[in-house]
Structure 1
Amino acid sequence: MTWDYFVPFAIAALHFWGFGAFAAWRGRKPVIAGGLTLIGLAIFFCFIVGMWISLERPPMRTMGETRLWYSFFLPLAGLITYSRWRYKWILSFSFILSLVFICINIFKPEIHNKTLMPALQSPWFTPHVIVYMFAYAMLGAAAVMAIYLLWFKKKPIESREMDLCDNLTYVGLAFMTLGMLSGAVWAKEAWGHYWSWDPKETWAAATWFSYLIYIHFRLGKPLLHRRALILLLISFVLLQMCWYGINYLPSAQGASIHTYNLN
């Protein structure tokens, strides 16, 4: 399967995600919203698998390919959140965010070929990227919840709503930690050292510490909801810099070993 099939698969998946979000918003039975979302996830995952087979490598090398995984994991994170806490709007937000990343991939397709540089020909490559993308999706859901609580919710912020942000952050940070550890082992095999303070690694460390600060702030100041949410959004901005922002920094040009994601 080639990239030419992306649009029909994406449109089909988006339709099911949209119907699932609508069902949740209208208060239909959770099994209906969940089932529709799962069908959309299955359709989208079929395209990812098809690309994997066609490229003869995991579709994780370029920014466009990592956006594929993020577009997949966002509705999954929304479904997990909806299934656990029954926030009827979360599937709508995850649907919209996934739509944005899919549109970026449609209007700005990346180069997709079978080329895979030697450093990426490692058994750690696939789990490292998948774990990170899932972490990003969970932390993205936490950021969406923070935005909702800060600027859209008219009633006072409740403790259970902050608990949702905390739980999403706990899961996201746990997977991010696994991603960093697997990346360190991978780096040891590929370049002979676990950590080199490469620009990407530096921003990854800053992001990790920022979320850790959020967790400790919540434990120490549980009633300062708005300050905690602002800290959570700052952490998410750092995450965006870690993911793709460093590719546009002068300090990373020709120096970062992670800039291969641009092509």
Structure 2
Amino acid sequence: MNWNYFIFFAIISLLLWVIGAWAAWKNKKITAFAATGGGLMVFFAFIVLLWMSLERPPLRTMGETRLWYSFFLPLAGIIVYSRWKYKWILSFSTILSAVFICINLFKPEIHNKTLMPALQSPWFAPHVIVYMFAYALLGAAFVMAVYLLFFKKKQGEEELDICDNLVYVGWAFLTIGMLFGALWAKEAWGTYWAWDPKETWAAATWLAYLVYIHYRLNRQSTAKVALWILLINFVLLQMCWWGINYLPSAQGTSVHTYNLE
């Protein structure tokens, strides 16, 4: 599968996700599920075909991880919609996914079949895929926080519970991803943890969401403070994901920075 075909899969997927978002607003639940699910199937089909073409998991570069994030965002959106019936969530997840798809169209960063020896590990694919799914769930929590802070005048406990549940599951997947990464590091470099810049930011992100969880368990917690914590945590998550590539401390030293060449 040539990367040039991505635009066709992306357009079909986005059209189906837009139809799903429109159907959600119109309370046409069956159409919303069918269209969103169809878009996910089309997009995932491209990922599978690209995987087969590259003969390796498409997870090596920043562009390839954006591909997974574009897929997981609508998946997180449909999960939230199916559980809590929020009409707007599919619109937000579609818009966010479209942003990452457009970035990939203009700056794909999808490369050849080469995979450095350290990445030729059975832990590589599950580690990154689990992390991308966690990022999508925490991205949905961020979207909820933005909505509650800036678009809704009064934050109800039900909406905050949605943020809580998204963070609980997202944080659990972050934890699993970290464990997979530690096992991978032990196999590749002989140590579970080396306080590499990427690992340091991953630990900071993991702890930041744990702070949110503990804060929400406190009966004295307030909605606005909790939501602002979510916004700050999402910034840390972005630093952990791609911001690390631009830090001087990671240049030439971090084994976790994405290969951009």
Is contact 1:247-1:262 (8 Å) kept? no
TM-score when normalising by structure 2: 0.98
Q: In the aligned structure 1, how far is the partner of 2:220 from the partner of 2:135?
A: 24
Q: In the aligned structure 2, how far is the partner of 1:232 from the partner of 1:130?
A: 22
The change in CA–CA distance for 1:250 and 1:223 in structure 2 (over 3 A counts) is closer
The change in CA–CA distance for 1:255 and 1:218 in structure 2 (over 3 A counts) is same
Q: Which runs of 4+ in 1 moved over 6 A?
A: none
CA-CA distance at 1:260 after TM superposition: 3.6
Q: Secondary structure at the match of 1:178?
A: helix
Q: Deviations over 1:80-120 (max 9, x none)?
A: 00000000000000000000000000011214110100000
CA-CA distance at 1:131 after TM superposition: 0.3
Is contact 1:9-1:47 (8 Å) kept? yes
CA-CA distance at 1:222 after TM superposition: 5.7
Q: In the aligned structure 2, how far is the partner of 1:200 from the partner of 1:13?
A: 32
Q: Which residue matches 1:62?
A: 61
Paired residues, what number? 261
Amino acid at match of 1:19: I
Q: In the aligned structure 2, how far is the partner of 1:261 from the partner of 1:161?
A: 39
Q: CA RMSD in A?
A: 0.9
Is contact 2:3-2:110 (8 Å) kept? no
Is contact 1:69-1:133 (8 Å) kept? yes
Q: Secondary structure at the match of 1:17?
A: helix
After superposition, residues 18-37 of structure 1 pair within 5 angstroms as 18-28=18-28, 30-37=29-36
Is contact 1:131-1:175 (8 Å) kept? yes
Q: In the aligned structure 1, how far is the partner of 2:220 from the partner of 2:171?
A: 19
Amino acid at match of 2:66: R
Q: Secondary structure at the match of 2:170?
A: helix
Q: In the aligned structure 2, how far is the partner of 1:239 from the partner of 1:16?
A: 29
Q: Deviations over 1:126-156 (max 9, x none)?
A: 11011000000000000000000000112x1
Is contact 1:3-1:112 (8 Å) kept? no
After superposition, residues 232-251 of structure 1 pair within 5 angstroms as 232-251=230-249
Q: In the aligned structure 2, how far is the partner of 1:247 from the partner of 1:61?
A: 14
CA-CA distance at 1:262 after TM superposition: 2.6
TM-score when normalising by structure 1: 0.98
**Structure 2 regions of 5+ residues with no counterpart?**
none
Q: Deviations over 1:43-88 (max 9, x none)?
A: 0001000100000000000100000000000000000000000000
The change in CA–CA distance for 1:222 and 1:13 in structure 2 (over 3 A counts) is farther
Q: In the aligned structure 2, how far is the partner of 1:79 from the partner of 1:229?
A: 22
Q: Which residue matches 2:37?
A: 38
The change in CA–CA distance for 1:222 and 1:37 in structure 2 (over 3 A counts) is farther
Q: Secondary structure at the match of 1:163?
A: helix
Is contact 1:210-1:235 (8 Å) kept? yes
Amino acid at match of 1:139: L
CA-CA distance at 1:31 after TM superposition: 1.8
Q: Which residue matches 1:126?
A: 125
The change in CA–CA distance for 1:260 and 1:145 in structure 2 (over 3 A counts) is closer
Q: Which residue matches 2:75?
A: 76
Q: Which residue matches 1:196?
A: 194
Amino acid at match of 1:10: A
